Structure formats: structure tokens, C-alpha cells
Chain A
Amino acid sequence: MADDKDVLRDVWFGRIPTCFTLNPDEVTEREAEAYYLLLPRVSYLPVVTDKVKKHFQKVMRAEDVEEMWFEYEGTPLKWHYPIGVLFDLHASNTVLPWNITVHFKNFPDRDLLHCSSNSVVEAHFMSSIKEADALKHKSQVVNDMQKKDHKQLWMGLQNDKFDQFWAMNRKLMEYPTEDGGFRYIPFRIYQTLSDRPFIQKLFRPVSPEGNAHTLGDLLKEMYPDALTNDGEVKRYQILIHGIEPLLETPLQWLSEHLSHPDNFLHICVVPVPTD
């Protein structure tokens, strides 16, 4: 059971100050001014950028506007990752605001999923919740919910309603006390150093001996290079929601409190800044 409401609120209301500028190659009728927004870490770019689209479309002719997409320093941003994950992975050690470039042509369809409407984001979000519950409860909780309950989760996220979302999401966070945690922890470990976008495998919150697994245990098994051995200089930061949790933190607690609304614990491994 999630019981530390302050942590849940801090996670939910995390914001990233962002400056959107139009790609200079776009054809405009007059100069496009930059647009500033506080982006919710736990949401998705298409859900919160309607205003950005309207702002730039005002200076463009309709025929020059194709599907909108975003880029940061040459990297197309995957809208299907939570915004906070994109920031931690690509921009965590840069000066704020986060400078995102907006494009309306040359959609990179070998890199990005298309997103024609918010219903595509909703399907993606629900599919992640279902996958997480397959890992946590063999899909029993999500299958016992009604359609309106699923809708409540999505509407809570879409409209930034913490109480509406958590009234339903807490059911997805329950587990039998005697088990000491979920069946498996839904997690993804991201890094930018290989083509493989993330690591996702089976990992239990409790060892066969009955000890609580920690964040360090997970990384030792999944990505040992990310850890700093004794006497070594630290090479990587392990980020969740922009912070570096202690490696001794129990994984079950992290899963209940620091998971994104899609119910996955998204962990970013990024190189330590050199300067």
C-alpha cells in the first residue's frame, strides 16, 4: 500500500521549465517567438503541448503544418516516454529551461511513433498499465476493474487530477502482506549508450531468503557497469524523477512511490557530467 502521500504528491507535481522554439527551417509568415511552459514530469508531450502547437501554427500557413514532433540537440524525443524520463535521459545536467525544438515537417518515422490524437497516447498508457499489472498481479487487478475505472486513471493523468488518479491507482499498488511485495517489479532501465532503448526483465522485490531487494541489487543484476566499485571514480548517475535515490532503498518501496502513472519504475543511467 502506498502510504507516503507527500512523496506521491511531490512526484505527481514535479515540473520542468521548458522553452519551445520553432525549428528555423520551418516556413513561417512572420517570426515565431519562443513559448514557455512548465511541463509535468509524469505526463506525455502530446498531452500537454496543445498550446505549443496553437502558438506556432499562428505564424504558419496550414499547408506547411504536418505532424508536430520535438527534438532536443539533434535527438528526436520519443513522446511515448514520460516527459521526466526524456529530460533525465537527455538533458539532466544542462541549464534550465530545457530547450526543445519544435518541428512540423520531415517527421522521422524511423525513430518516432506517430501520434495522431490523444487516444493514441491513452492506448499506449493503458497498455503500459496492463503490462505492469501482468507483472505485479498476473493482470488480476486491472482485469477486475471496469472500463470506467480504466478511464478514471487516464482522465486523472490527462487532466492532472492527483486525487482522481490515485483513488483508482492505489488498487494497483496493493499486494498480500504475507508476500512482502508484488510478484515482479515493473521497471525499465534506460541509457543512451547503446541501440537497445531499455532493459526490462523479471525481478522480484524479495529474495528467495526473504530479504527485501534494493535498487542496488537490481542494478547489480541488470546493469552492473552502472555501479561504482570501491576505489573507482563514479561514472554514472542513477536517476529516478531527477533525483539519485540511495542504492539501499528497497525496490518495493520505490515501485509503490516513485513509479510513473503507467506503473513502471523508470530508471535512467546517465554519465556523470565531466566539468
Chain B
Amino acid sequence: MTVQPEQADVLTRSLPLEMNCRALDEERFCRCCRLILRRSDQLRDGWSWEALQGSEGYLKKTTLRPLPAGWGPEQDGGESPGAEPAALQPDPLVSTGSEEEDADLRLPSNSSSPVLQWEYHVLYSCSYATPVLYFRAFTLDGRSLTLEEIWKSIHPNFGLRLQNCPLNAVSQQEHPLLGQPFFFLHPCRTEEFMGPVLQAALDHGRYAHPGFWVHEGPMRFYLETWT
């Protein structure tokens, strides 16, 4: 599906302003989400809206990703004998679901490399007036990743920021709408983590390019940092 030039222009002009998270009320959050969903539909990259009562809801995406380099479940902990990487095969039922699949990270159908299933939720925090990322990951046999494994899976560029007190940046927290354990990036640290990513985009002039917001949606960009 192609994006009409005038449509791209509207998005380019509106999104950077809309995505300024410093003073985002819930209504604007929902408006941003609608724009992101429209573009996600065009890209077929799998974001959806999970509606709750009234206008409330959150953005959701589920995707399969290869294990990050240098990452492996604890071999010596013996927590779950079935969770060794060798036992992980992409589940054909999951990996062929085109709606759930991330176009650029599509696994070759004959891939034998181990994968994890990631679930991302973007919720609005009224306390901080920002979007907040909640996420969780499972091996294909259903074991949840531990917090230590999540810390290990964070991109090395951000590893340094975690060193001093990782619990203040990424920790486990109850999903405020579902009541289930998720990991979350603390809202106070979101800007610190995302700032360099946006700066890099600015430095490379990609931000000014009309295609930037269309082809590299900010939420996608936000999430790419983590895997």
C-alpha cells in the first residue's frame, strides 16, 4: 500500500508536535494512537488498539524476534529445563500469522534460530502525562523472561544507563489495566532513553525527511531500542 503524498505531509507536520510527550493529555494520546494505527495499517506492522470501557484503551503489538546476540536463558539456574535455546523452534502457527508479524523481522520459514515472543503495550500515564511502555516476553514454550534476562536483552548502547540502578529504569510492575506482571520503562527515564535515539535521527537528517514518520513510526522506533 502506498501513502499518498498529501497524507504523508499531514503526518509529517502533525506528528512531531503531537509526539512531544511533555504535556500530553489523554485525549491527545488517543489522537496520536489513531494516527499511529492508521500508519501501522498501511505498513501492516501489527499494532492494534485494545479498547476498554469508554474511550480508554492502549496500543498493543505482539511479535516474534530472534534472541538478542549474546543472550541466553540461565543455563545453570535450572528454573525451567525445557527452556534451553536449542529447544526453541519458531512455532509455525505463530510465525505465519501475518497480522502478528513484524514485516522487517520476518523469520525465514526454515529458520532454526531461537525466538522469543514479545508483547508491547503502550499506555497513557495520567500521573506523568506521558505514554508508558509495558512489555513482556515469553519463550515459545510459555516461560516468562525474568527481569535479569530482560536487562541482558537491552541494547548495549543503553546498558551503561542501567548500570547504577537498573531497577529505577526497567522493572517489573503490575499492568494498571490488566493487573498482570509486565516489565516497564519508568516514565522518568523515558526521555533519557529515547532522547539519543531521536537525536541520532535528527543528526542524520532523517527527521526532516517526509518518509521518516511514515516509514519509521515513532512507536516502532521507540520499541526497536529494546530488542
Contact = CB atoms under 8 A, between A and B. Distances in A.
Interface of A: 78, 80, 109-114, 119-120, 123-124, 126-127, 130-131, 134-135, 186, 195-198, 200-202
Contacts of A119: 167
A2 B59 CA distance: 40
B172 A197 contact: no
Greatest chain A CB density within 10 A among B127, B128, B146 is at B127
A134 B174 contact: no
Contact of A195 (B147, B168, B172, B179): B179
Contacts of B178: 195-197
A146 B171 CA distance: 22
A202 B52 CA distance: 18
Interface residues of B, number: 22
Majority SS at the chain A contact face? loop
A91 to B, nearest CB: 18
Interface string B166-181: 0110011110111111
A201 to B, nearest CB: 6
Contacts of B144: 109-110
Greatest chain A CB density within 10 A among B144, B177, B179 is at B179
Contacts of A202: 126
Given A113-B172, A197-B174, A200-B126, A120 B181 contact: no
Contacts of A131: 127-128
Contacts of A134: 127-128
Interface in B148-178: 165, 167-168, 171-174, 176-178
B188 interface: yes
B101 to A, nearest CB: 24
B186 interface: yes
B127 A197 contact: no
A112 B167 contact: no
B171 A111 contact: no
Nearest to B143: A109
Contact of A201 (B126, B146, B177): B126
Given A123-B167, A200-B127, 4 more contacts: A110-B144, A111-B181, A123-B168, A196-B177
Contacts of B174: 78, 80, 113, 197
Contacts of B180: 110-111
Interface of B: 52, 126-128, 144, 146-147, 165, 167-168, 171-174, 176-181, 186, 188
A134 B178 CA distance: 23
B167 A200 contact: no
Contacts of A127: 168, 171, 173, 186
Contact of A124 (B147, B171, B177): B171
A78 B167 CA distance: 19
Nearest to A81: B174
Contacts of B177: 196
Contacts of A197: 174, 176, 178-179
Nearest to A131: B127
A220 to B, nearest CB: 16
Nearest to A203: B126
Given A124-B171, A131-B127, A200 B181 contact: no
Nearest to A130: B188
Contacts of A110: 144, 180-181
A114 B127 contact: no
A200 B171 CA distance: 20
A127 B170 CA distance: 11
Nearest to A197: B179
Nearest to A107: B79
B176 A198 contact: yes
14 contacts: A78-B174, A110-B180, A110-B181, A111-B180, A113-B172, A114-B146, A114-B147, A114-B181, A119-B167, A120-B167, A123-B168, A130-B188, A197-B174, A202-B126
B115 to A, nearest CB: 20
A196 B179 contact: yes
A112 B168 contact: no
Contacts of A78: 174
A109 B171 contact: no
Contacts of B188: 130
A250 B51 CA distance: 34
A85 to B, nearest CB: 13
A17 B109 CA distance: 59
A123 B166 CA distance: 10
Greatest chain B CB density within 10 A among A110, A119, A196 is at A196
B176 A114 contact: no
Given A130-B188, A195-B179, A196-B179, A114 B167 contact: no
